[in-house]
């Protein structure tokens, strides 16, 4: 049954109000909880930082103010990329971060943020929720007293900012580049020296020549960091991150100590935020891409089909090589690839040729 117009809006509002009332009434004075949430992303960085604040505010609404999830700017409590250990030890109750920042612990965790030449939102979450992906991630987190909820999602990224036009992939050899996740291993096979830097550290590294190029995110976010002031060539598509998932990473003991209603509030806030932020990025980035071209003098470039084929070939080699070295990586990769193989028939049957390619 479909609810339309004013009736539908009232019904949805009524459900939300009932949920809020139910959660709040189930929390007595002694159930008041205050958590610290260390963010890897600044509050002023579009989509990434504000989404953490949104989740915090939604939890406050759902619990009638009884559960405070306090957002802390990067490095306020612990370094931006070191929240895994802090949450594991209980130094902070939670982190606003992404699994791909923890690959120094387990390289396989990169699969839970973004995968080169990977799936769109629907297929990705189908694997995570119904194909065993989330269970595999939690197995790793269980070993470190951690609990995670998928809590954010952004759309496609660009694939890099360069100070000069890349006329051939040979131009990449010897380049020093900030690169994230599994895509970094692909770039390494092409002769690029990669390193992972937090967002706020990228511009100074570019400015000082510590790195020659960088990828980070999408036009709205990259404008905020000012990469265009140094690197004027921005390449597409973001083959390494077609969509990217963020997480609320928590100390497992702190999670288990929460009243069930507060756990539900976190789950509800995260699910709502995923669809909100994804829609936000898709709405904002077309305009931002044009702004980079018209206002900041950025040259938007697209890799050729032949170059993309080389990236993909190297990605498939990375899967084989990393799987041979790391049984955990292989276990996750096998699950991911097996699900994609089953999904392929459905995905190809539904594929349409975009009209903008005609």
What integer pLDDT is reported at residue 10 of this predicted model? 39
Which is it for strands 176-178 and 233-236: parallel, antiparallel or unpaired? Answer: unpaired
User: How many Å apart are CA 60 and CA 58, to the nearest integer?
Assistant: 5
What integer pLDDT is reported at residue 31 of this predicted model? 86
Number of neighbours of residue 274 by Cβ within 10 angstroms:
22
User: How many Å apart are CA 32 and CA 66, to the nearest integer?
Assistant: 5
What integer pLDDT is reported at residue 28 of this predicted model? 55
**DSSP label at residue 72:** E
For residue 129, give every residue at least 6 positions away whose Cβ sits within 8 Å of its Cβ, in sequence order, or none.
none
What integer pLDDT is reported at residue 352 of this predicted model? 86
What integer pLDDT is reported at residue 3 of this predicted model? 41
What integer pLDDT is reported at residue 355 of this predicted model? 60
Of 284, 267, 250, whose CA–CA distance to 58 is shortest? 267
Give CB contacts under 8 A, 24+ apart, made by 182-188.
182/110, 182/111, 182/114, 182/115, 182/116, 182/240, 182/315, 182/318, 183/114, 183/116, 183/159, 183/215, 183/239, 183/240, 183/241, 183/315, 185/318, 185/322, 186/116, 186/240, 186/311, 186/314, 186/315, 186/318
What integer pLDDT is reported at residue 4 of this predicted model? 42
Cα–Cα–Cα angle for 266, 109, 152, rounded to 5 degrees: 35
What are the residue ranges in the chain where pLDDT is below 50? 1-18, 24, 357
Max CA separation in the chain (angstroms): 65
From residue 261, alpha-carbon distances to 77, 186, 211, 255 in Å are 27, 43, 47, 12
């Amino acid at each position: 049954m479909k609810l339309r117009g004013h009736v539908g809006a009232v019904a949805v509002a009524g459900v939300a109000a009932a949920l809020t009332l139910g959660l709040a009434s189930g929390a007595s004075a002694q159930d008041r909880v205050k958590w610290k949430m260390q963010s890897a992303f600044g509050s002023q960085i579009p989509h990434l930082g504000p989404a953490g604040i949104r989740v915090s505010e939604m939890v406050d609404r759902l619990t009638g103010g009884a559960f405070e999830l306090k957002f802390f700017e990067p490095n306020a409590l612990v370094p931006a990329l070191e929240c895994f250990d802090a949450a594991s030890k209980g130094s902070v109750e939670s982190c606003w971060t992404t699994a791909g920042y923890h690959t120094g612990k387990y390289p396989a965790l990169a699969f839970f943020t973004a995968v080169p030449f990977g799936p769109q939102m629907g297929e990705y979450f189908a694997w995570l929720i119904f194909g065993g992906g989330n269970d595999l991630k939690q197995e790793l987190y269980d070993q470190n007293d951690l609990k995670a909820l998928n809590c954010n999602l952004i759309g496609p990224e660009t694939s890099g900012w360069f100070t000069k036009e890349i006329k051939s992939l040979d131009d990449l050899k010897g380049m020093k580049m900030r690169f994230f996740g599994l895509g970094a291993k692909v770039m390494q096979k092409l002769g690029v020296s990669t390193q992972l830097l937090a967002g706020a550290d990228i511009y100074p590294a570019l400015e000082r020549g510590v790195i020659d190029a960088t990828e980070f995110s999408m036009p709205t976010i990259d404008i905020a960091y000012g990469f265009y002031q140094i690197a004027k060539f921005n390449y597409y598509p973001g083959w390494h991150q077609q969509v990217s998932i963020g997480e609320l990473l928590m100390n497992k003991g702190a999670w288990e100590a929460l009243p069930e209603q507060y756990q539900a509030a976190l789950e509800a806030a995260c699910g709502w935020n995923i669809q909100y932020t994804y829609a936000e990025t898709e709405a904002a980035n077309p305009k931002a891409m044009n702004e980079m071209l018209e206002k900041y003098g950025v040259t938007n470039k697209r890799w050729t089909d032949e170059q993309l084929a080389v990236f993909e070939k190297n990605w498939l080699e990375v899967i084989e090589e990393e799987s041979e070295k790391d049984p955990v990586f292989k276990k996750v990769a096998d699950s991911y690839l097996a699900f994609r193989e089953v999904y392929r028939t459905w995905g190809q049957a539904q594929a349409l040729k975009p009209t903008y390619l005609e």
